Amino acid sequence: MSTSTGTAAAAPPRRAARPRADALRNRERLVTAAREMFVESGPQVPLDEIARRAGVGNATLYRNFPERADLVHEVVLSLMARVAERAREAAEQESDAFAAVRRFAHAAADERVGALCPMLDGDFDKEHPELRAERERLEEAVHGLVVRAQEAGRMRADVSVVDLMVALFQLTRPLPGTACSHMDRFVHRHLRLFLDGLEAPARSALPGAPATLEDLRREACGA
C-alpha cells in the first residue's frame, strides 16, 4: 500500500467568531450613547457610564475608542452628519422655501447642535481632514436652504447662514447650572421667535454686516 509523500494542504483560516456587522452595531451604539450623554452631562462623563448605556462592556468601548479624544472625534463627526441630513431632508420634503428653513432649524435644535461647542475645546483637532469634510458638507446643505429661501423672497436678504447657525448654537446650549433636558420646553419657543425675525419682509434694518462662514469656524465654538 502506497503512502502520500506530498505536503498536506494548509487549513483555511478560521473566520472571526463575531461577524463584522455585530462589531459595527456595537460601535454605533457607543457613539449614540456618547452623543446623548455628552449633551446631557458634558464631554467629561465617565466612559464606563457610556458603555453601560450602550449595553456593551468596557473592553468593547476601549477596543473601539482607546482614548476619550477618539470617542469625542467620532461623536462630532456623527452629529455633523446627522444635522446635515436634517438639512437635506428639509430641502427635499418642503415645497415652501422658508418652511424648509424652519423645519431644519427645529430638527437641528432637537439634535442639540450647541453640544458641539464644549466638545471642541482644548486640544481637539478642528482641522482634521474628516471633520473638515463633514463640516463643509453641513455648511453646503444649510447654505442651500438659506439661498433658496432668499431667492424665493421668503427670507430677508440681510442675513446669512451664519446668523442661523450661531442662533442654533446659542439656543441649544444649556444655561450654566442647568441640565439640558430642562431647556427642552424653552428651546423651540425661543427658536420660533428667532425664525419669525428671519422671514421677509424685514421689519427693521440690521446693524453691521452678516458674518461669514470663516467667522463661524473661528468664533462660534469659542469660550
Percent of the chain at pLDDT exceeding 90:
49
The answer on 88 and 56 residing in a single domain is: no
Instruction: Please give the residue range of the domain that contains residue 88.
Output: 84-219
Give yes or no: residues 60 and 89 share one domain.
Answer: no
Domain-embedded: residue 2: no
pTM metric for this prediction: 0.78
Give the whole-angstrom CA distance, residue 132 versus residue 214.
Answer: 12
Q: How far apart are CA 145 and CA 91, in angstroms?
A: 7
What CATH number does residue 44 fall under? 1.10.10.60
Q: Specify whether 113 is located in the same domain as 213.
A: yes
| Residue-level pLDDT at 218 | 66
Distance CA 51, CA 203 (A): 50
Residues 82-125: tens digit of each pLDDT: 999 999 999 999 999 999 999 999 999 998 888 777 777 666 77
- Do 48 and 142 lie in one domain? The reply is no
Whether residues 178 and 100 fall in one domain: yes
- Does 104 lie in the same domain as 191? yes
* Comparison of pLDDT for 149 and 5, the residue scoring more: 149
CATH of the domain at 189: 1.10.357.10
Q: What is the pLDDT of residues 142-189, one digit of tens each?
A: 999 999 999 999 999 999 999 999 899 888 876 554 444 555 667 888
